Amino acid sequence: MLRTKNTIIIGIWLICCVALTIFYATAYPSHLLWQEQNQIFLNTSHWVGTYFDKPAWLGCLAGEWLTQFYSLPIAGAAILTIAIAFCVALFAKATLRFLPKAAAWSVTALFAILLFGCSLSSSTNLAFFLCIAGGLSLAFAEMYIIINKTRKIDLSPVIVPLAYWTFGFGALITALFICLFTFKRCATDHSKRYWWLTAGVALVFAAGFPALLCTSYALPYAKALLYPGLATPTIPQTKFEERLAIADSFYERDYALTKRLAMKAKEPDDITAFYYYLSTALQDSLPDCLLKYPVKNLGTLTTIGETTPLMVINMMNDLYYELGDMTYAERAAMMRNVFSPRNRNARMIRRLAEINLVSGDTLAALKYLRILDRTHAYVDWSKSHTPGMITPAIEADIMRRRAFSNNKDNIRLGDNCRNIILELLESNPGNTVALDYLLCTDLLLKDMDTFKMDYDTYCMSKCNPRYKDLYQQALMIYLAGTDAPEEEWNKYIVSTPLVQLFNRYSNRRGDPSFRGTYWYYFDKQ
Amino acid sequence: MKYKILTLLITIFLLGCGSTPTDVKKVASLPPIFPDYIDVTIPAGIAPLNFAVVSDKEEVQRIDVTIKGANGDELHANGKYADFNIDKWHKLTEENRGRQLTVSVCAKIAGEWKQYDDFTINVSPYPLDEWGLTYRRIAPGYEVYSKMGIYQRDLGNFNEFSIIENTMTDGQCYNCHTANRTNPNDFVFHVRGQHGATLVSKNGECTWLKAANDTLGGSMVYPYWHPSGRYCAFSTNQTRQGFHISGPKRLEVFDLSSDVLVYDTEKNEILLDSLLNKKAWSENTPSFSPDGKWLYFTTCYQQEYPLKHKEERYNLCRIAFDETTGHFGSQVDTLFNAVDLDKSVTWPRPSYDGKYILFTLSDYGYFSIWHKESDQWLLNTATGEARPAEEINSNDADSFHNWSDNSRWVVFTSRRNDGLYSNLYLTCIDDNGHFSKPFLLPQANPEEYYTQSLYSFNTPDFTKTKVDFNSRAAVEAILSDERIPAQVR
């Protein structure tokens, strides 16, 4: 009977684990990749040694070491599932010791739901779960002394500090369970009331040890007590997952997929729009697609600072890198690193290497490549980008980007994207990505005078008119609005069918059948 | 029997590892080591100069290093990198003070042992009496600060201790910890941002001054102590920064305005002088002569920023200072006219024996760490002549520096390693005013440490003894925002 029950429990357990793994693998892969990218783990003794600078070294070390494998398919889902399952198993085993079965299983179920909820937050890292598991494991060690043994040696003055040193806030869990075990012990055996002393010692040590060490750890007490930090449960962040997936496809340079995912987004917003437009721009079709997406955001009006969301800093990094402005791409990458744990973000370290390769600062590029050399996930990438070993395709990409970079030195005080684009175009008028971003920003702002001026400066005066329907339609608005003579029309407008369409629209201004034209956007949207 | 087989297997394995050089092939070149410690000059008792042999093409499997003293003593290291025993290293350097150490390096590369030409390390006859260094370590995140702090490092070993870290106060920026002639009993540092303040600590007594004073038009930023310990000079930089659009430079820091003042710690009084507060001029980076009779500073004609940032050029000047009255002299002397050379002076630091002024020279501006062309220059105070200290300069930024108390050692920042992150180098000056080849601050595993570091070291200084600072009390004081306003005279 007992065996059957256990088999059922194990069966349910396994089914839950498989379901959880499938969930993370299919519904949350980009969240897991975000975790992996938001750190970097170096396989060196020096790096491992740095974990001892703060509490919870074992939880953080094991967590970050395992997180580096999140970039492998399924691995992240499996690791996270195992970590949660381990926590829940320990919790169940512990609660069964002092609660009736039904109550223990109910509490365990709630605990499992809580952990699952925490795992759904993009800011929860694996170390959080490992610190819980570590705290529970050490509580068990003490439990065997309290419940199973009659030894009079109280090990809590050792176990609780050990729990804090290795698992940070896990020590609080250790202390809590020591108290619960003690309660159980005293309730069943009234002659052993001195065990209460154990509970008291555990609590005092759990609260006092961080207070003792917080100065040497250079942390305020509250942070030291809860290191490496607690997590907040949340509901599945499907919207954020969708955005991360779009950003990841862009990172992999699969622009067609980026566009497809952006178009499929249930609630298009600034992020989906941003990546949609950047992908189209890189496929030379930004003017063709500008009015096709429901949300308009080119990122050209966004600035970054201390309170900018991390995703937006990533976006600005992508934008400036693709436009060709290595100065601000580097600035965004540096800032993103600063906002990452231990000042390292794998994606940005990679990007910093790319930026310095493009700007020709080999020494600085090697700095980042040597860091990547010491990782598990990026060693091959690093080798393929190391000067002297660069593949022809990568070399060609670097040279193409270098050709579009700024080559005039000056000092820039703010991140006014218009100025940045103008500088890029001064350096290289053939930078069509920058040109389209400039002209399309003017059009989204409906600033026709600026648009005409920019079009004249970077297209007409360079004898390089850009005959895109969007620009033609916008020029017609300007020409009509300024009563331009026929020769002006002939100079700018080459599409006769568009002129005929414009004439028809002029008689039916605001007619929804013209939705999708710049005229309609100009009048109605 | 089982144990015999196991022993045999272990022996075969160890022999297979080939940890000691056999069939060594001679290579007629110096070993490619990191850090470059070839022919450097070190003080006796410094932390061991651990190093690695580096090769971009092939993996260096193992190295075997022997260091011989002039009296025949030897020190041996064998491993992935040369990791010397600290006590034996100290003994060897102490016994060879004023003499040379000969270093023999063998490296196992692609299964083959190679022996390189021997090189020497000079042990200086001049002691470095200071306990260690203080410095700030910061990620060059430009506008925001993640983890940064002020640290101290024991120069006799690899131990580093934090004096204060901004993880204790949620991202404050700590600036320029400055002691009085390497004596940690008197020091100042400045806290930027929301809980801004200037801390003046004298013999353990802390005074938290208001960071900014409206009368001054800025904060108390770059400090330097008067040798008496009563006064401390500051510049009041209203700093702004911009980004270079392209080219080798990344950042440019300039001041909308800056003056120089002297703070009287006894009277809590700020001493101003019209010659140090000229409206059209920026006075900056002050320092006192070791006899306390002169206040050195740099000054430039205020430019229109950022348009004419390249015309911002500072000269090195001095003004007399009377420590009994706190009065300044009535004339300013130009000690080094950098403007005539189309150059700019920054960070003048007189040696404590009064013989030299070490300063940094760059094409323009004063924030030389972002200027690849910036170099160290040495001014002989007796002759008034200045020369580039070519023996310690590099192709990259060589910037902020400070002297040891006996004026024989200099610590300075340089970006020669990767062009992006500044590290600390030490050098020794001889009786003829000639510097030795500088050496990178030793680390236990320097190759891993410096390769993996994403932090810059800056504002380094020597410290006679370990800084005893109650960081928890300091954090409470910072967060309390209780500040004492200084009176302006």
The DSSP string of A132-154 is HHHHHHHHHHHHIIIII------
Q: Which of B105, B123, B141 is the last residue of a domain?
A: B123
Contact: A388, B56; criterion CB under 8 Å: yes
Pick from A326, A330, A344: which is nearest to B454 by CB? A344
> Looking at the structure, do residues B39 and B166 belong to the same domain, yes or no?
no
**Nearest chain A residue (CA) to B306:** A411
Residue A465: other Cβ atoms inside 10 A: 16
pLDDT at residue B277, as a whole number: 92
> Looking at the structure, do residues B317 and B383 belong to the same domain, yes or no?
yes
Contact: A371, B140; criterion CB under 8 Å: no
Residue percentage of chain B with pLDDT more than 90: 67
3-state secondary structure of A351: helix
d(CA A436, CA A442): 10
Rg, chain B, Cα only = 25
3-state secondary structure of A475: helix
* pTM of this structure: 0.91
Pick from B144, B165, B444: which is nearest to A338 by CB? B144
Contact: A413, B421; criterion CB under 8 Å: no
**Is residue B47 in a domain?**
yes
- Compute the nearest-CA separation of A419 from chain B (Å): 11
**Is residue B16 in a domain?**
no
pLDDT at residue B142, as a whole number: 58
Pick from A219, A306, A330: which is nearest to B144 by CB? A306
* CB-CB neighbors (< 8 A) of B167 in chain A: 218-219, 223
- Compute the nearest-CA separation of A123 from chain B (Å): 17
> Looking at the structure, do residues B467 and B369 belong to the same domain, yes or no?
yes
> Looking at the structure, do residues B257 and B394 belong to the same domain, yes or no?
yes
**Is residue B213 in a domain?**
yes
Helix (H) or strand (E) holding B336: strand B327-336
pLDDT of B425 > 70? The answer is: yes
Contact: A44, B452; criterion CB under 8 Å: yes
> Looking at the structure, do residues B79 and B137 belong to the same domain, yes or no?
no
Written as one letter, the residue type at A510 is G
**Is residue B4 in a domain?**
no
- Compute the nearest-CA separation of A213 from chain B (Å): 11
Contact: B244, A411; criterion CB under 8 Å: yes
Mean pLDDT (chain B) is 90
- Compute the nearest-CA separation of A306 from chain B (Å): 6
pLDDT at residue B143, as a whole number: 61
d(CA B331, CA B179): 28
**Nearest chain B residue (CA) to A44:** B448
Among A378, A411, A421, A426, the residue to mutate for chain B (most B Cβ within 10 A): A411
Q: How far is CA A66 from the centre of its chain?
A: 18
CB burial of residue B188 (10 Å; 0-12, 13-18, 19+): buried
pLDDT of B49 > 60? The answer is: yes
> Looking at the structure, do residues B382 and B244 belong to the same domain, yes or no?
yes
Least confident segment among A159-168, A260-269, B5-14, B255-264: B5-14
> Looking at the structure, do residues B75 and B166 belong to the same domain, yes or no?
no
Rounded mean pLDDT of B147-163? 92
pLDDT tens figures, B118-148: 999 999 999 999 999 999 998 875 566 567 8
Among B245, B414, B420, the residue to mutate for chain A (most A Cβ within 10 A): B245
Structural contact between residues A68 and A60, judged by C-beta atoms closer than 8 angstroms: no
- Compute the nearest-CA separation of A366 from chain B (Å): 8
> Looking at the structure, do residues B214 and B231 belong to the same domain, yes or no?
yes
3-state secondary structure of A478: helix
Task: Kindly give the parts of chain A with pLDDT less than 70.
Answer: 1-2, 147-153, 190-194
- Compute the nearest-CA separation of B156 from chain A (Å): 20
* CB-CB neighbors (< 8 A) of A218 in chain B: 149, 162, 164-165, 167-168, 471
Pick from A47, A343, A363: which is nearest to B147 by CB? A343
pLDDT at residue B398, as a whole number: 97
d(CA A87, CA A104): 14
* CB-CB neighbors (< 8 A) of A219 in chain B: 167-168
Contact: B247, A45; criterion CB under 8 Å: no
Contact: A223, B243; criterion CB under 8 Å: no
> Looking at the structure, do residues B285 and B229 belong to the same domain, yes or no?
yes
Among the residues of A303-361, which ranges form H helices?
310-323, 326-338, 346-358
Range of the domain at B463: 132-480
Rg, chain A, Cα only = 30
| B453: phi then psi, degrees, rounded to nearest 5 | -70, 135
> Looking at the structure, do residues B175 and B305 belong to the same domain, yes or no?
yes
Q: Which of B90, B123, B156 is the last residue of a domain?
A: B123
- Compute the nearest-CA separation of B38 from chain A (Å): 21
| B356: phi then psi, degrees, rounded to nearest 5 | -135, 160
d(CA A149, CA A165): 26
d(CA B134, CA B465): 10
Contact: B168, A218; criterion CB under 8 Å: yes
- Compute the nearest-CA separation of B233 from chain A (Å): 30
pLDDT at residue B15, as a whole number: 46
pLDDT tens figures, B268-319: 999 999 999 998 999 999 999 999 999 999 999 988 877 788 899 999 999 9
> Looking at the structure, do residues B214 and B291 belong to the same domain, yes or no?
yes
pLDDT tens figures, A199-250: 888 899 999 999 999 988 989 899 999 999 999 999 999 999 999 999 999 9
**Is residue B257 in a domain?**
yes
Residue B257: other Cβ atoms inside 10 A: 18
The DSSP string of B440-465 is EPP-SSHHHHHHH---EEEEEEEESS
- Compute the nearest-CA separation of A224 from chain B (Å): 10
d(CA A74, CA B71): 63
Written as one letter, the residue type at A338 is V
Structural domain total, chain B: 2
CATH number at residue B452: 2.120.10.30
Contact: B243, A47; criterion CB under 8 Å: no
Going by pLDDT thresholds of 50, 70 and 90, the confidence category of residue B239 is: confident
| List of domains in chain A | 2-225 (no CATH), 238-404 (1.25.40), 448-524 (no CATH)
| B333: phi then psi, degrees, rounded to nearest 5 | -100, 140
Contact: A413, B169; criterion CB under 8 Å: no
Write out the two tokens for A88.
């829940």
Beta carbon pairs, A and B, within 8 Å: 129
* CB-CB neighbors (< 8 A) of B163 in chain A: none
Contact: B145, A338; criterion CB under 8 Å: yes
**Is residue B17 in a domain?**
no
* CB-CB neighbors (< 8 A) of B162 in chain A: 218
pLDDT at residue A395, as a whole number: 95
Rounded mean pLDDT of B50-66? 92
CATH number at residue B78: 2.60.40
**Is residue B487 in a domain?**
no
pLDDT of B86 > 90? The answer is: yes
**Is residue B20 in a domain?**
no
d(CA B42, CA B72): 19
Structural contact between residues B345 and B359, judged by C-beta atoms closer than 8 angstroms: yes
Contact: B245, A219; criterion CB under 8 Å: no
Residue percentage of chain B with pLDDT more than 70: 92
Q: Which of B92, B123, B154 is the last residue of a domain?
A: B123
> Looking at the structure, do residues B113 and B146 belong to the same domain, yes or no?
no
3-state secondary structure of A5: helix
Nearest Cα neighbor of A141 from A131, A157, A156 is: A156
